[in-house]
C-alpha cells in the first residue's frame, strides 16, 4: 500500500553544527519534481541533495557530497517509508565538522525519513488500465460506464470499426467494468489487455 503526501512538509535539524533542512512534497511527474527542486534549492548553501520517485521513474543527486552518501539515502528513505509521487530536497549549511560517510548517510536519509513520518499523507489507490476495442455503436456506452464507476478515459484511437479506448480505474473495479462492458454490448466490446 503506497502513500503520497498531501502537502509540502519541512523539517530542520542540526547535526554536529551542520544544519540540514529536509523539504518533502507531492509531485505527479518528473517535470514537476525538477521544477520543485529548481524553485526550492538555495544557491548560497553547501549542498542541495535530492531524490524523487514517481511510479517507476526515480532520480537522485549527491550535489558534491561523497558519492552514495546523500541522494541514494534520500531515495531509500522515500521508498522505505512507502511513499510514491514524492520529491525530497535536503539543504545543508556546513558547520565545519566532517560527518564521515556513515554520518552523512544517516543525516540525509534519516532527516527525510523523519520528515516523511511527520508529514500529512494519504493512501494511494491501486489503479489499473484496461484497453477495450469498442464498435462505434457502444462508444457512448463505455463513456457512461466509465463515469458510473469513477473511471477515467485516458485515450480514444478511432479506426473504421470504432475505437480503441484506454480506461484507467481502481484495480478492485476491473472485474465489474469488464463484465458490464461485455453485457451491455452483448459481447461486441472486447478487452484487449489489462
Q: Using the CB atoms, write b or e for 103-134: b if 16+ within 10 Å.
A: ebbbbbbbbbbebbeebebeeeeeeebbbbeb
Confidence at residue 1, expressed as pLDDT on a 0 to 100 scale: 74
Helix (H, G, I), strand (E, B) or coil at 81: coil
Cα separation of 36 and 59, whole Å? 14
What's the pLDDT score for residue 163? 95
Pairing of strands 121-123, 3-5: antiparallel
Would the CA dihedral through 138, 128, 126, 84 be positive or negative?
negative
Beta bridge partner(s), residue 93: 19
All domains of the chain in start order, with CATH: 3-123 (3.30.230.30), 127-193 (3.30.70.240)
Q: Is the pTM of this model over 0.75?
A: no
Q: What does the pLDDT read at residue 2?
A: 85
Strand partners, 15: 18
Task: Please state, in angstroms and rounded to a whole number, the distance separating the CA atoms of residues 172 and 192.
Answer: 18
CA distance 146 to 168: 9
Is residue 112 within 8 A of residue 22, CB to CB? The reply is: yes
Given a contact cutoff of 8 angstroms between Cβ atoms, the answer to whether 13 and 115 are in contact is no
Q: What is the CA radius of gyration of the chain?
A: 23
Please give the pLDDT value at position 184. Answer: 92
Mean pLDDT for back-to-back runs of 10 residues, the chain (194 residues): 92 96 96 97 95 94 97 98 96 94 97 97 87 95 93 93 93 92 93 77
Residue 21's pLDDT is 97
The predicted structure's pLDDT at residue 194: 56
Would you state the cell numbers that stand for residue 63, as one nine-digit string? 550535489
Q: For residue 126, what pLDDT is reported?
A: 80
Amino acid at each position: 500500500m503506497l502513500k503520497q503526501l498531501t502537502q509540502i512538509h519541512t523539517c530542520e535539524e542540526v547535526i554536529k553544527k551542520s544544519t540540514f533542512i529536509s523539504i518533502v512534497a507531492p509531485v505527479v511527474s518528473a517535470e514537476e519534481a525538477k521544477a520543485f527542486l529548481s524553485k526550492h534549492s538555495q544557491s548560497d548553501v553547501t549542498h542541495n541533495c535530492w531524490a524523487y520517485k514517481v511510479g517507476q521513474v526515480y532520480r537522485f543527486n549527491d550535489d558534491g557530497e561523497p558519492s552514495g552518501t546523500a541522494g541514494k539515502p534520500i531515495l531509500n528513505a522515500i521508498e522505505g517509508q512507502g511513499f510514491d509521487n514524492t520529491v525530497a530536497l535536503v539543504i545543508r549549511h556546513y558547520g565545519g565538522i566532517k560527518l564521515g560517510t556513515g554520518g552523512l548517510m544517516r543525516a540525509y536519509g534519516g532527516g527525510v525519513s523523519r520528515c516523511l513520518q511527520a508529514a500529512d499523507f494519504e493512501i494511494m489507490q491501486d489503479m489499473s488500465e484496461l484497453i477495450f476495442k469498442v464498435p462505434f455503436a457502444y462508444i457512448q456506452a463505455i463513456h457512461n460506464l466509465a463515469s458510473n464507476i469513477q473511471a477515467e478515459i485516458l485515450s480514444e484511437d478511432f479506426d473504421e470499426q470504432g475505437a480503441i479506448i484506454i480506461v484507467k480505474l481502481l484495480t478492485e473495479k476491473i472485474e465489474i467494468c469488464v463484465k458490464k462492458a461485455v453485457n451491455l454490448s452483448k459481447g461486441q466490446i472486447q478487452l484487449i489487455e489489462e
